[in-house]
Amino acid sequence: MGQDGVPDGTAEGGGSSVTTLDVTWAQAWTRAAAQVVAEHRDELVELDRQIGDGDHGENLHRGFTAVLAKLDGLTEPPGQVGDVLKLVATTLMSTVGGAAGPLYGTAFLRAAKVTATERLDAAGVVAMLEAALEGIVVRGKASPGEKTMVDAWTPAVHAAVEAADGGAEPAAVLAAAATAAEEGAVATDPLVATKGRASYLGERSAGHRDPGAASSALLLRAAAEAAA
């Protein structure tokens, strides 16, 4: 609470325009992500069963369950947003099998490196999302249109940049990113996979949603809801 009676990080007047996101938000995002993965575990398993190994939902659920255990077991509260994201990254890398562990782990690790701060403004949120996408692209060597999680993250980053450039606050930037990611995930339905295990199916991969794009949309929506 500031000396003027207005909560820190909030704009006076409307009362709900949060100008920065802090470590509390990062932890809330982590917990929301774990919850949404648990709620959609079976859905993600089924999506992956159609064009992959069928373990995407179970792997992510195991990973985020481990993340929560690590978060709850901290003896000292994290001081920076990046501390939370690094914990997520390292835990996912060590507990999630298949491609999801390295991809999400790298995304969160890259994001952690650019969020070594107590608070994120709109530009900081954009930098975080851009770093995560860069990590996924570098690790997975994928491009838009190949029916991967990149097809959710790329429009998410573009929407975040546009929102921030238009003066949106961090929560609105994340909301725009989440909506674009959801649309991007749906747009993978008709695509023919040319990357990853789904590419083995060739034309038969068309008509199915990419599970990585679907889980990406869920995680970004969790980030937005935690900010809201």
What mean pLDDT is reported for the chain? 91
Q: Are 71 and 87 in contact (CB under 8 A)?
A: yes
Q: DSSP letters along 139-154, please?
A: HH---TTSSSTHHHHH
| Cα 152 to Cα 215: distance, rounded to the nearest angstrom | 9
Q: Based on the structure, what is the number of domains in the chain?
A: 1
Q: For the domain that residue 69 is a member of, what is the CATH number?
A: 1.25.40.340
Which pairs with CB-CB distance under 8 Å and at least 24 residues apart come from 38-41?
Answer: 38/64, 38/65, 40/214, 40/215, 40/218
Which of 227, 225, 222, 228 has its CA nearest to residue 40? 222
Q: For residue 49, which of 218, 217, 209 has the smallest C-alpha distance?
A: 209
Q: Tell me the mean pLDDT in the region 102-121.
A: 97
Distance, CA of 21 to CA of 28 (rounded, Å): 11
Q: Is there a domain that residue 2 lies in?
A: no
Length of the chain as a residue count: 228
With respect to residue 169, please indicate whether it lies within any of the assigned structural domains. Answer: yes
pTM passes above 0.85: yes
For the stretch 169-226, pLDDT in tens is 999 999 999 999 999 999 999 999 987 778 878 888 899 999 999 999 999 999 999 9
DSSP one-letter code for 224: H
Helices (H) and strands (E) in the chain, counts: 9, 2
User: Quick check: is 14 in a domain?
Assistant: no
Structural domain harbouring 36 = 21-227
pLDDT digits (tens, 9 = 90+) for 141-178: 999 999 999 999 999 999 999 999 999 999 999 999 99
